[in-house]
Each structure stands twice: as C-alpha cells, then as structure tokens.
Amino acid sequence: MTDSKNIFLTAEWLDLALLNYVVDPSLLQPFVPQGTTLGSFAGKTYLSLVGFRFCKTKLWGKLSVPFHREFEEINLRFYVHRTVGSELRRGVVFIKEIVPKSAIALTARLVYGENYVSLPTKHRISAIGDNGEVEYSWRHQGSWSRLFARSAAASKQPTENSLEQYITEHYWGYSRQKSGRTLEYHVTHIPWRVQLASEARFEGNATALYGQDLANVLSRPPDSAYIAEGSPVEVYAGAETA
C-alpha cells in the first residue's frame, strides 16, 4: 500500500490526446532505465506523443503555487515494466516533457530527474456531445508544432487487455538518474474513459527536440490515437530502485 504521506503532487489530468506509433524496439532500447524491461503489446513496441491539461495542481496535496495551477504538458513517452516480488509494475519512461513554466520544469528535473523543458504552449478543446477535438501546441526555435486528435465516437471504459487499456493504464514512472541508477515513482488515478480518434496527427519540426530518428517516427500518421477524459491524479515521491 502506498503511504499517503509520500504524495508529492495532486492535480487533475484532463483532455488527453494520445498519438501512438509502432516502432522498432532498438529505437527505444537506449532510453530504457536500468532494472526495467521495454514493454510491448501483442508483440509491438509503442511510442506515444501525449498532450493534456494540468489543472488544480498542488504540491504535497495542499500547497497551491500562484500562476502554476493550470498549464499544458506535452510529452513523448514509451512503456516499460519492472517485477517486484510477484508484482508486475507497468510503467512509463519520458523521453522529453514540455511545460510552459520554467519553475515547473526545474522542479521536475530536480525532484525526479525527468527531462523537462520550458517552452510556450497553448491548447484548444472543442466538445459537442461525443464529438471532440483536442489540440496542443508548442513553440520551439521560432516555429509552432502541434498534436491534434478528433473523435466522433462515444467515450467508454477500455475493455480488458485492449490496446486502449495498455496505453492509458500505467501507474509507475521510471527515470534514469545522472548516477545511472533508476528512480521509481507511483502515480494513481481511476481508469480513464477513452474515445477512439477518427483523425490524429503531429505537425511541425520535431528534429531539434527529439533527434532525427524519433522525428521520422512522428512525421508519419500514428498507428492508433485516443482522446481520454482524464481524472484527478496523485503522484508520489520517488525512490531509487535496488
């Protein structure tokens, strides 16, 4: 059981757009933290570009920082797992995370060793019934990039052992520290309702942020894409793995 005293951050993660790309495992292997294993679903390895809104953000469950409660985050991530005793911990590794506030980026780098950068960001959310459009944009080196998803499907709980469940239900984060060791931290939230996207894409120049190989992946249409409603979350303090 996770000790509530170790909660570092509470927030709501809302209006998620998740663009998922099947990649060769060798592309991600250099990023895999020590002690974790690169994950797969149905024999395929996934890289995801994700945008969402951080809302009602508080540190230690109670401290609200003025002008830092609501903001966008865009991250490029992939999936790993780690076995602890009889427990299989399904986790996420972030290649890069974008936020608009430099203090947020600095805090995340210091506390978790995550690869955060601070860039201007914006979002656009449109929803009429089950018709939804979600867009997140960021400016880097003078030009804007964006990820976009549209859906006309009703939102629903992912079915058991589905790709939607695999992409959205990872409750551990792993980051490689400067020492080479791995920091593990727990994230809790209810399972998210999702919509299958009928249209989704990334537009922009990703090379400077992610390198040419990852930019080549993002330049093609995603293999799957979802819009998730999101929920309140709790992010716990991390600890280095043995």
Instruction: Please state the domain extents for the chain.
Output: 4-240
pLDDT of residue 4: 52
Q: Which structure tokens are listed for 190?
A: 């209810």
Question: Could you give the CA distance from residue 167 to residue 226 in angstroms, rounded to a whole number?
Answer: 9
Q: Which residue has the tokens 């960001």?
A: 121
Letter for the amino acid at 32?
V
pLDDT of residue 103: 81
Question: Could you give the CA distance from residue 71 to residue 77 in angstroms, rounded to a whole number?
Answer: 19
The stretch 138-153 carries a mean pLDDT of 94
pLDDT band at 110 (very low <50, low <70, confident <90, very high): confident
Q: ∠ CA(106), CA(120), CA(112), 5° rounding? A: 25
pLDDT of residue 20: 98
Q: What is the pTM of this model?
A: 0.93
Task: Return the closest-CA partner of residue 13 out of 194, 228, 225.
Answer: 228
pLDDT band at 180 (very low <50, low <70, confident <90, very high): confident
pLDDT of residue 109: 81
Task: Return the closest-CA partner of residue 11 out of 64, 53, 54, 73.
Answer: 54
User: Structurally, what CATH architecture does the domain formed by 4-240 represent?
Assistant: Beta Barrel (2.40)
Task: Return the closest-CA partner of residue 53 out of 97, 96, 11, 14.
Answer: 14
Q: What digits encode the pLDDT tens for the residues 6-36?
A: 898 899 999 999 999 999 999 999 999 999 9
Give the number of other CB atoms < 10 A from CB of residue 217.
19
The mean predicted confidence, pLDDT, of the chain is 91
Q: Has residue 126 got a pLDDT over 70? A: yes
Strands, E, within 100-192: which ranges? 116-118, 121-128, 131-140, 143-151, 172-176, 182-188
**Enclosing H/E stretch for 195:** strand 194-196
Q: Lowest mean pLDDT of 70-79, 109-118, 152-161, 176-185, name the range.
A: 109-118
If DSSP codes are grouped into helix, strand and coil, which group holds residue 7? strand
Q: Has residue 52 got a pLDDT over 50? A: yes
Q: What digits encode the pLDDT tens for the residues 69-104?
A: 799 999 999 999 999 999 999 999 999 999 998 887
pLDDT band at 67 (very low <50, low <70, confident <90, very high): very low
Task: Return the closest-CA partner of residue 52 out of 65, 71, 78, 79.
Answer: 71
Task: Report the largest interatomic distance among the alpha carbons of the chain, rounded to a whole angstrom.
Answer: 49
For 206: left if phi > 0, alpha if psi spans -120 to 50, otherwise beta; the answer is alpha
The stretch 133-140 carries a mean pLDDT of 97
Q: Has residue 53 got a pLDDT over 50? A: yes
pLDDT of residue 68: 64
Q: What digits encode the pLDDT tens for the residues 225-241?
A: 999 999 999 999 999 98
The stretch 179-192 carries a mean pLDDT of 94
pLDDT of residue 5: 63
Q: Has residue 198 got a pLDDT over 50? A: yes
Q: Has residue 105 got a pLDDT over 90? A: no
Question: Could you give the CA distance from residue 186 to residue 206 in angstroms, rounded to a whole number?
Answer: 29
Q: Which structure tokens are listed for 43?
A: 């024999």
pLDDT band at 1 (very low <50, low <70, confident <90, very high): very low
